[in-house]
Amino acid sequence: MNNQLLIIITLITGALIPIQAAANAACSKATGNPILAAFITLSTGLIAIILYMVISKTPLPEIATLKSVHPINFTAGLIVAIYLIIITFITPRLGVGSSIGLIITGQIIGAITIDHYGFFNTMIRTVDFKRVLGTLFMIIGIYLVMKK
Residue 126 identity: T
Q: Look at residue 144 in the predicted model and tell me its pLDDT.
A: 92
Predicted TM-score of the model (pTM): 0.80
**90-141: per-residue pLDDT in tens?**
999 999 999 999 999 999 999 999 999 999 889 999 999 999 999 999 999 9
Residue 11 lies in a domain: no
Q: Look at residue 79 in the predicted model and tell me its pLDDT.
A: 93
Residue 15 lies in a domain: no
Residue 148 has pLDDT above 90, yes or no: no
From the centroid of its chain, how far is CA 117? Answer: 21
* Domain, as residue range, for 45: 23-146
The closest alpha carbon to 42, from 82, 97, 11, belongs to 82
Cβ atoms < 10 Å from Cβ of 97: 14
Residue 10 lies in a domain: no
Count of structural domains within the chain: 1
Residue 61 lies in a domain: yes
Residue 76 lies in a domain: yes
Residue 147 has pLDDT above 90, yes or no: no
Residue 83 lies in a domain: yes
**52-99: per-residue pLDDT in tens?**
999 999 999 999 999 999 999 989 999 999 999 999 999 999 999 999
Residue 34 has pLDDT above 90, yes or no: yes
Residue 113 lies in a domain: yes
Phi and psi based region of residue 18 (left: phi greater than 0; alpha: psi -120 to 50; beta: remaining): alpha
Residue 142 lies in a domain: yes
